[in-house]
A and B are shown apart, each in its own frame.
Chain A
Amino acid sequence: MSTLNGTGNEDRHGIDGLRSAIEDVAADIEARQENAPARGPRWGLRVAVGVAAVLIALLIGSWWIVPPRSSEVEVLVLKIHGRDVRARIVDDTAPETIIVIPQPEAARPPAAASIPIGGAR
């Protein structure tokens, strides 16, 4: 048998066995490479999908997880049926909505509760 760098038949048995094993392993590697999907576009697609998923997650997270900042203002004068009521307004989550919370008048003596509606102090 002649080979590229062969010297004849003596001592060829082992090298031929090695060559055969290499050929089988290489053929297996090449077959798997050929059957594998193309690497470039698939990687590009994966990266694009990954970036999009992260952006979407950030968007959703910022909407649902991070609570919107509520602003609270003090109501200086609130009259209900002509009566002054201490209250505060919370401009909360829903757009175009404010919540008015009347405040308990803890400091006021019980007698103050008898002020008639519409009456003067």
Chain B
Amino acid sequence: MSRRTTLTLLAGEATAGREDLDNDLSSLVGAVRNGDESTTERLYATVRPRLLRTALALGVDPDDAADLVQETLWSAHRNLHRFDPRQASFEGWLGLILVRRARNRWRGLVRKKRLLEKLHVFSPRSADPEAGAVDARLTLERLLGVLTRRQREVVALYEIGGLGAGEVARVLGISSAGVRSLARDARRRLTEEASRETREALP
């Protein structure tokens, strides 16, 4: 599965390709588990783009997102023997690791932020994004800002990650109906926020 195919899936144009992707990943995972190290990088290169976008949808700081994805892949690689394809798809399993790590990071950031506020320390951002990406970052931050943490997780896994409602439900420990309900509410909130911005941008 090439990166291009993965991105096409992200754009939502090939729902039928979802099964192909899952099958392709299953064979790659099987090869890696059987000791075929040459397919390791291919496996992770296949899932990395979608994982990065899922991390961004979870609200992870863009400066940290790539590191978080790398940590997730490393953790998955070390624990690959524990992955059970009967329980979840490989991407669902990765999504579970990613969400847990994002939650831990988020808790750590909250603690750090409180400490910095107590110490009156200003922590500048180290990133130097392209000018065009600055707008995108602001848009991303603003849109995610109207969602609850649970809604973000559903949007990240269900809308951006492309997992099925049942799989997202297993990852988050809620019902499939709950996933759909949260996704619906999140879409409505996002549309309201996007419409409000459009109205304010008009003269």
Contact = CB atoms under 8 A, between A and B. Distances in A.
Interface of A: 1-7, 11-15, 17-33
Given A11-B184, A11-B191, 15 more contacts: A2-B12, A5-B162, A5-B165, A11-B190, A15-B155, A15-B186, A17-B143, A18-B144, A18-B155, A18-B159, A18-B160, A18-B190, A25-B136, A29-B52, A31-B130
A90 to B, nearest CB: 57
A106 to B, nearest CB: 66
Interface residues of B, number: 44
Contacts of B189: 14
A66 to B, nearest CB: 40
B144 A24 contact: no
Given A12-B191, A14-B189, A29-B66, A24 B160 contact: no
A15 B18 CA distance: 20
A69 to B, nearest CB: 49
Interface in B26-72: 49, 52-53, 56-57, 62, 65-66
B160 A22 contact: yes
Interface string B6-19: 00011011010010
A107 B177 CA distance: 109
B181 to A, nearest CB: 12
A4 B18 contact: yes
Main secondary structure of the interface of A (DSSP, over half): helix
B196 to A, nearest CB: 10
A7 B13 CA distance: 14
Contact of B133 (A12, A18, A24): A24
Contact of B129 (A14, A15, A18, A28): A28
A14 B15 contact: no
Contacts of B164: 5
Contacts of B129: 25, 28, 32
A11 B194 CA distance: 10
